[in-house]
Amino acid sequence: MQFKIPSFPGRLAALLLALLPVATRGAGELNLFGWSEYVPQPVLEGFTRETGIKVNFETYSSNEEMLAKLVAGGGRYDLVQPSDYTAEAMIRRKLLQPLDRARLTGLGNLAPEFTGRAHDPEGRYTVPYMSGSVGIVVNTEKVKTPVRGYRDVFQAAHRNRIVVVNDSRELVSWALYALGQPINTIDAASLARVRPLLAEWIKLVKVFDSDSPKTALLNGDVDLGVVWSGEAALLWREHRKFQYILPAEGAHQFVDVLAIPTGARNVTEAHRFIDYILRPEVSRQISAAFPYTNPNLAARRLLTPDELANPASYPQGGKLESFRDIGRAAADIDRLVTDLKSAK
Amino acid sequence: MTPFPVAREPGARPGAFAWLLLAPLLVWLALFVVVPALLLLGCSFGERDEFGQVLWGFSLENYARLLDPVYLRIFLRSLGFAALTTVLCLLIGYPVAYHLARAAPRVRELLLLLVLVPFWTSFLVRTYAWMAILREEGLLNALVAWLQPAWAPLGLLYTPAAVVTGLVYSYLPFLILPVYASVEKLDGALIEAAHDLGAGPWRVFPAVILPLTLPGIAAGVTLVFVPAVAMFAVTDLLGGARVPLIGNVIQNQFLQARDWPFGAALGVALLGLFLVSQMLLRALRPRGALRG
Interval A237-287: pLDDT, tens: 999 999 999 999 999 999 999 999 998 999 999 999 999 999 999 999 999
DSSP-assigned letters across all residues of A262-313: TT-S-HHHHHHHHHHHHSHHHHHHHHHHS-SB--BHHHHTTS-HHHHH-TTT
List the single residue in B240, B244, B249 with the smallest CB-CB distance to A209: B240
Is the model's pLDDT at A67 over the cut of 80?
Answer: yes
pLDDT band at B287 (very low <50, low <70, confident <90, very high): low
Residue A7 belongs to a domain: no
Looking at the structure, tell me whether residues A321 and A187 fall in a common domain. yes
C-alpha A191/C-alpha A63 separation (Å) is: 22
Q: What is the per-residue pLDDT for B200?
A: 85
Per-residue confidence at A235, pLDDT binned at 50, 70, 90? Answer: very high
For residue B197, the tally of other CB atoms under 10 A from its CB is 9
Q: Do A219 and B52 touch (CB under 8 A)?
A: no
Over residues A185-192, mean pLDDT: 95
Correct CATH for B59-284 of 3.40.50.300, 1.10.3720.10, 1.20.58.220, 2.30.30.360: 1.10.3720.10
pLDDT for B8? 54
pLDDT of residue B285: 67
A36 and A119 share one domain: yes
What confidence tier does B101 reach under pLDDT thresholds 50, 70, 90?
very high
Angle formed by the axes of helices A329-342 and B69-102, nearest 10°: 60
Option in A327, A328, A341 nearest B244 (CB): A341
- Nearest CB to A221: which of B52, B135, B252? B135
A266 and A156 in one domain?
no
How does DSSP assign B98-144, residue by residue?
HHHHHS-HHHHHHHHHHHHGGGGS-HHHHHHHHHHHHSTTSHHHHHH
Q: What is the predicted ipTM?
A: 0.80
Distance from CA of B215 to the nearest CA of A (A): 36
Provide the residue range defining the domain that includes A298: 27-131+254-309
Residue A66 domain flag: yes
| A216 at B interface, C-beta within 8 A | yes
Nearest residue to A64 (alpha-carbon basis) of B138, B254, B38, B191:
B254
Confidence of residue A107 (pLDDT cuts 50, 70, 90): very high
B257 and A CB contact within 8 Å: yes
Q: Is A325 in the same domain as A184?
A: yes
Q: Which of residues 22-51 of B touch A (CB under 8 A)?
A: 48, 50-51
Q: Tell me what the pLDDT averaged over chain A comes to.
A: 90
| Model confidence band, residue A124 (pLDDT cutoffs 50, 70, 90) | very high
Are the CB atoms for A177 and A320 separated by under 8 Å?
no
In chain A, which ranges are E strands? 29-35, 54-60, 79-80, 127-139, 162-164, 205-208, 224-228, 242-245, 251-258, 320-321
CATH number of A105's domain = 3.40.190.10
pTM for the model: 0.83
Check CB contact of B195 with chain A, cutoff 8 Å: no
Within an 8 Å CB–CB cutoff, is residue B73 touching chain A?
yes
Q: Pick from A295, A333, A292, A330: which is nearest to A310 by CA?
A: A292
Q: Choose the mutation target among A86, A334, A336 for the interface with B, i.e. most B CBs under 10 Å.
A: A334
> Where do the structural domains in chain B lie, given as residue ranges?
59-284
pLDDT tens digits along B184-202: 998 888 888 998 998 888 8
Q: A308, A25, A317, A330: which is closest to A186 by C-alpha?
A: A330
Q: What is the mean pLDDT of chain B?
A: 88
Cα nearest neighbour of B153 on chain A: A221
A192: helix, strand or coil: helix
Helix, strand, or coil (residue B19): helix
Q: Between helices B260-284 and B246-255, what is the axis angle to 10°?
A: 150
Q: How far is B123 from B44, CA to CA, in rounded Å?
A: 30
Residue B132: closest CA among chain A residues belongs to which residue? A219
- Please state, in angstroms and rounded to a whole number, the distance separating the CA atoms of residues A178 and B150: 39
Q: Name the CA radius of gyration of chain A, rounded.
A: 23
Residue A301 CA to residue A289 CA, distance in Å, equals: 16
Q: Indicate the number of domains in chain A.
A: 2
* DSSP structural state of residue B209: I
Per-residue model confidence as pLDDT tens digits over B54-88: 888 899 999 999 999 989 999 999 999 999 999 99
Instruction: Give the orientation angle of helix B210-230 with respect to helix B260-284, to 10 degrees.
Output: 170
pLDDT confidence of A25, banded at 50, 70, 90? Answer: very low
pLDDT range class, residue B203, cuts 50, 70, 90: confident
Q: To 5 degrees, how large is the angle CA B252–CA B253–CA B258? A: 110
Q: Is the pLDDT of residue A95 over 90?
A: yes
Q: Are A80 and A172 within one domain?
A: no
Whether A93 and A209 share a structural domain? no
- pLDDT category of residue B252 using cuts at 50, 70 and 90: confident
Q: Is A105 on the interface with B (CB under 8 A)?
A: no
Q: Is the pLDDT of residue A129 over 60?
A: yes
Q: Which residue in chain A has the smallest CA separation from B49?
A: A328
Residue A279 sits in the same domain as residue A175? no
Question: pLDDT value at position B273?
Answer: 87
CA distance A235 to chain B (A): 17
Taking Cα atoms as reference points, which of A295, A270, A267, A299 lies closest to residue A282? A299
* DSSP state letters, A140-172: TTT--S---SHHHHS-GGGTT-EEE-S-HHHHH
* Residues A82 and A45 placed together within one structural domain of the fold: yes
Strand partners, A96: A261
**A67 and A127 assigned to the same domain:** yes
Are A222 and A334 part of one and the same domain?
A: yes
| A168/B74 touch (CB, cutoff 8 Å), yes or no | no
One-letter identity of residue B158: Y
pLDDT score of A11 more than 90: no
- Residues A243, A326 within the same domain: yes
CB contact under 8 A, B254 and A220: no
Q: How far is B278 from chain A (nearest CA, A)?
A: 28
Query: In terms of domains, do A199 and A106 share one?
Result: no
Q: How confident is the model at residue B277 (pLDDT cuts 50, 70, 90)?
A: confident
Cα A37 vs. chain centroid, distance in angstroms?
9
